Structure 1
């Protein structure tokens, strides 16, 4: 079995990285997605308020400090334009809690990829590399 970093490097070299895709619309996204380390996110349809639930979610995705939480919040679908003109779809996650100690202080973002039949949410810090995490239904 290869370490996760080696898999990401192999995927980057082979061109097999999952990428953001405008083919997937916001209507395709509701459902439950599973990711690494027992992470799970459930997106309810935007027509019903765009609510979300997460389990084993990192408090800060940029600091791998092991702090995780279970929570609720809301999500929205957006398409942003990169400096090179590329249009990039993503989901913005906002969390609710009693205090800032309960939830992340800042909203988090996941890129939208896959196909309408099999959407994928991607955590990606560096667009030149493969995603750091993939969440599949």
Structure 2
């Protein structure tokens, strides 16, 4: 066996693709995340400063804070409302469309039932004829 049992190393990435990927990560992920964090920190510092120094009306800052706490729940609730409305619309559509297709399926099963019964009756018929014939003979002997 060979001493080196490791798989071959992957090829070096393309430097142009790698540079473009880094730029996209910077502009699409890092910068928006950093700006959002700075805005949240600035708002927090403003609230703490206003509360500590009584620089502004504290009730206004409290109301603003409550609004910022409620907004994520409102967004989630609106998403869930949209999902619920979509499901309700889908159910109404199904209620309108399903009877046609369930009737077709029911007709197929009625046809299958009739053919199975016919096949079952046909498979039992020879036995029934023999038994009814022997029963008739027994009845004639008794008379």
If the TM-score is normalised by the length of the shorter chain, which range does it land in? Answer: under 0.3
Task: Give 1 or 2: higher helix fraction.
Answer: 2
From the CA coordinates, give the structure whose radius of gyration is larger: 2
With normalisation by structure 1, the TM-score equals: 0.18
RCO greater where, 1 or 2, for CA within 8 Å and sep 6 or more?
1
